[in-house]
Structure 1
Amino acid sequence: MDGKIIAVDFDGTIVEHAYPEIGKEMLFAFATLKALQQKGHRLILWTYRRGTLLEKAVAFCKKNGVSFYAINENYWGETLDGDFSRKINADIFIDDRNVGGFLGWDTIWQILHADGKDYAHQLQNPEAHQNIRRRSKKTFWSKLY
């Protein structure tokens, strides 16, 4: 898998929800983020936080060994003129607000790197994706259907 740009949410994804405080680390969050960086992926912190709350989140991540390629922008130092959509240009978005909720860092790692195949293969191969989903906890949507 070539290095991808991965946008990662903070609250509910890297840490448990405790906004405006910083929650406990989600299981395997920093280990997985560091491993993704070691594989050549560029991580963007993509969060609702700003100002002092954002600074605290960035410092928390740095203290745990993760520095980001960019924070709430497409690349470090990005400048924007006029009206714009604040959409991050990323290949992959990891967020607890995904359809089906947050899968867990172990499942995310499996989707991105299982059996040496890239994430596109995992997501396009329904059988592989279903096998990974079966191991993850029940989500709101799966309880409905």
Structure 2
Amino acid sequence: MDKKTIAVDFDGTIVANAYPDIGKPLLFAFDTLKKLQSEGHLLILWTYRSGKKLEEAVAFCKKNGITFYTVNKSYPEEEMSPNISRKINADLFIDDRNIGGMMGWGEIHHLLIEDTNTSKKPNLKAKRPKKGFLSRMEDLFKDQNDTDV
């Protein structure tokens, strides 16, 4: 599978929403982000935070094992000015403000990890090759869009 650039929100997505403070990490958020990075995907922190509050969020993520490719911009060398949009060039966005809400990190985490207990699901592994997280997510969204009228 192709490597993706994924923009991830902070408040309400990685941590519980307690802005301007930092909330508690959401269950499986950091585990999932670490898995995405280990698969070679680029993670961008894309947040409303700026200045000292942004520095605190970046430091919190780093303390929890995540160093982002870049923060609030599309690539590290991008120069920010008032004339440049803060819209991020990413393949996917993980944000609590998605239409229909955000899939929980627990669900995302389970999509990343194959069930090692083959006695429960022997036919699933035999019928399909192992897919990465993003391929499974794309399949899930295709299935949802196919059933929508």
TM over 0.5: yes
In the alignment, residue 26 of structure 2 is paired with which amino acid?
A: M
In the alignment, residue 55 of structure 1 is paired with which amino acid?
A: E
Range with greater deviation from structure 2 (72-81 or 22-31): 72-81
State whether residues 31 and 109 of structure 2, in contact with CA within 8 Å, keep that contact through their aligned partners in structure 1: no
Selected match of 1:116 from 128, 131, 135: 131
* Per-residue deviation, 1:126: 2.8
In the alignment, residue 131 of structure 2 is paired with which amino acid?
A: G
Range with greater deviation from structure 2 (8-17 or 106-115): 106-115
* Per-residue deviation, 1:84: 2.9
Q: Distance in 2 between matches of 1:100 and 1:46?
A: 19
Percent sequence identity over matched residues?
Answer: 56
Q: Distance in 2 between matches of 1:128 and 1:95?
A: 23
Query: Using a 3 Å threshold, how does the CA distance of structure 1 residues 83 and 5 change in structure 2: closer, same or farther?
Result: same
State whether residues 123 and 129 of structure 1, in contact with CA within 8 Å, keep that contact through their aligned partners in structure 2: no
Counterpart residue number, 1:31: 31
State whether residues 8 and 45 of structure 2, in contact with CA within 8 Å, keep that contact through their aligned partners in structure 1: yes
Counterpart residue number, 1:107: 107
TM-score when normalising by structure 2 = 0.77
Counterpart residue number, 2:58: 58
Structure possessing the higher radius of gyration over alpha carbons: 2
Runs of 4+ aligned structure 1 residues displaced above 3 Å come to 109-115, 127-130
Secondary structure, counterpart of 1:7 in structure 2: strand
In the alignment, residue 97 of structure 1 is paired with which amino acid?
A: R
In the alignment, residue 123 of structure 1 is paired with which amino acid?
A: F
| Residue ranges of structure 2 left out of the alignment (5+ in a row) | 115-129
Query: Using a 3 Å threshold, how does the CA distance of structure 1 residues 129 and 8 change in structure 2: closer, same or farther?
Result: farther
TM-score when normalising by structure 1 = 0.79
Query: Using a 3 Å threshold, how does the CA distance of structure 1 residues 69 and 125 change in structure 2: closer, same or farther?
Result: same
Q: Distance in 2 between matches of 1:90 and 1:77?
A: 15
Q: State how 1:1-145 maps to structure 2 within 5 Å.
A: 1-80=1-80, 83-109=83-109, 116=131, 118=135, 119-126=137-144
How many aligned positions are there? 130
Q: CA RMSD in A?
A: 2.6
